[in-house]
Amino acid sequence: MHDSKVRPDWLDYNGHMTESRYLQVFGDTSDAFLNFIGMDENYRKQGFSVYTVETHIRHLREVSGGESLSVETQLLDYDEKRIRIVHEMLHSSSGDVLATGEHMLLHVNTNKGKACPFGKILYEKLAQIWNGHQNLSIPDYAGKGFQELNKK
């Protein structure tokens, strides 16, 4: 769904991609997904958009400067007003999973500032994607929060 390269200004004091850039890459991927289903600038000009209501990012491996990234997206669930997606950030050459981002998006009427159903075209596109994704296994981490610390 999205490709990126870790730029030098994305690095923290440890020489790894800083936390905020993971969210940027996942946000750019969500935007690509939304454009894919038809939520483009023209759609937003009509007074509709989505708001992110929840995000859970897992940082699994260190990411250094100059590394090429690709992000795959899976539709986990949807209804008339919500989309639940998960992104997996992969190292482009090794295929290693570097991070995951799970997001709940809410469709809104931006003029009224409240949730509303998706337009027909977007809902139909989500249904098409769902036809391909509904039989994919849901990642074991999806829908879960922090792992409990072992208290010894």
Residues 103-136 pLDDT 10s: 999 999 999 999 999 999 999 999 999 999 999 9
Number of CB atoms found within 10 A of residue 42's CB: 8
C-alpha distances (whole Å) from 98 to each of 29, 42, 61, 63, 144 are: 15, 34, 5, 7, 18
**Among the ranges given (50-64, 90-104, 136-150), the one the predictor scored with the smallest mean pLDDT:** 136-150
Split at pLDDT 50, 70, 90, the class of 148 is: low
Complete domains list, the chain, with CATH: 2-133 (3.10.129.10)
Rounded to 10°, the helix 19-37/120-133 angle is 110
Q: For residues 46 and 29, what is the distance between their CA atoms, to the nearest angstrom?
A: 23
Q: For residues 140 and 145, what is the distance between their CA atoms, to the nearest angstrom?
A: 11
pTM across the whole model: 0.91
Do 101 and 56 touch, CB atoms closer than 8 A? yes
Chain CA centroid to CA 143, Å: 14
Predicted confidence at residue 144, as pLDDT, reads 86
Mean of the per-residue pLDDT values for the chain?
A: 93
Do 106 and 49 touch, CB atoms closer than 8 A? no
Number of CB atoms found within 10 A of residue 17's CB: 25
